[in-house]
Amino acid sequence: MVYLDYSATTPVLPEILDSYIKVTNEYFGNPNSLHSLGTKSQELLKEATKQICDILNIKENETIITSGATESNNLALIGTAMAYGEKGSRIIVSKLEHDSIYGICKYLESNGFIIDYVNNDKEGVIDFEDLKNLIKPETILVSINAVNSELGIRQPIKTIKQIINKENSKTIFHSDMTQAMGKVPVNLSDVDLASMSSHKIYGPKGIGLLYKKEGINIKPLFYGSGEDFRPGTPPLPLIVTFSKALRLASLDLNKKADKIKKINDKICEHLKKYPNILINQTKYSIPNILNISLMDIKSETFIHALEKYEIFVGSNTACSGGKISAAVLNLYQDKKRALTTIRISISYLTKYEEINVFLDNFDLIYNRLKELSN
């Protein structure tokens, strides 16, 4: 099998799976129970939470465990809207967000909030002037992802925060950092709220985190006993293994990035011989995500043809279910280009031999389908 859809999800690392099984078996006591089994679990929960905080350089009261980035995004946007709605009703988002953000915006719009969409330049970077003009006294929140999931475009988060602070120091800044974690260095002190997800960094599915800077008051989405944002029994095996995934993801970032860049370059070089294949990459795209447009062939047809050889690549994003690529349309204003994209996402685990297999089969399938389309 050749797996090249790491931006949709990653396999769980064997050592992480081992920890999951160990914690499930040996720490099954409810961390909230008073007896010794509960205490044992509570201690491990504290240890794992401390590790998460140490890695991310944040405080314990700044972490909210969620089920993943979609829930973190919901809590960030709806939680802020509910807490600060009386102070203002405007929210700014970029045009290169994950679909989950737009779904939440739709809901907020139906509840009276006004969503302003900030422009980006031809390289995909936020248009600073447009952002400045859009920030009004009644803008309560700006949400801009750190790395876009379709084209891998990385935003200058620190500069964006400075602009927001200058225009309206009360405006809260949220960043969906799901595609940035483990790929590029992130600095949570540059934002007020940040979403992340474990299954994008070789951890288990079903857990993520919302970073909430101390002093930012958002309303919870769930209610139960206590004051927690997510009441209920803490999912200890998920939390422990998420902390392990975060630790492993933070190691050797440069070394991993160098290898991924080499693989990205190799694929681009190989595809140069096809004049009709367009590479959707700007100078701000991180090499983990390589988005191309096949132009003459539908993405779906190509993805299924590759799958017959046990090669797995993505369409635009897994969550949009292979619809037109909004990001490619935004950048290149070309419908055909946006309808024929495939997303090849590369990991530090990707082997050069796998790329050779991928490229051999790519040639075979591309030439065959191109002939058919003629």
Residues with active-site annotation:
319
Q: On the CB side of 233, how many CA atoms lie within 13 Å of its CA?
A: 11
- Note whether 70 binds ligand PMP by CB under 6 A: yes
For ligand PMP, the binding residues in 88-107 under the rule CB under 6 A are 98, 100
Candidate ranges 64-72, 84-92, 276-284, 344-352; the one touching ligand PMP (CB under 6 A): 64-72
Residue with tokens 């972490």: 63
Q: On the CB side of 103, how many CA atoms lie within 13 Å of its CA?
A: 10
CB nearer to ligand PMP: give 100 or 293.
Answer: 100
- Note whether 318 binds ligand PMP by CB under 6 A: yes
Rounded CA separation 261/281 (Å): 13
Candidate ranges 133-141, 173-181, 266-274, 302-310; the one touching ligand PMP (CB under 6 A): 173-181
CB of 75 to ligand PMP, least distance (A): 12
Q: Tell me which amino acid residue 182 is.
A: G
Identified binder of ligand PMP from the candidate list 145, 171, 316, 341, rule CB under 6 A: 145
- Note whether 288 binds ligand PMP by CB under 6 A: no
Q: Which residues pair with 90 in a beta bridge?
A: 114, 139
CB of 73 to ligand PMP, least distance (A): 6
Candidate ranges 12-20, 66-74, 167-175, 213-221; the one touching ligand PMP (CB under 6 A): 66-74
Binding letters toward ligand PMP, positions 175-214, x by CB under 6 A:
-x-xx-----------------x----------x------
- Note whether 315 binds ligand PMP by CB under 6 A: no
CB nearer to ligand PMP: give 149 or 350.
Answer: 149
Candidate ranges 28-36, 225-233, 317-325, 330-338; the one touching ligand PMP (CB under 6 A): 317-325
Which residues make up the interface to ligand PMP (CB under 6 A)?
68-70, 98, 100, 145, 149, 176, 178-179, 197, 208, 317-319
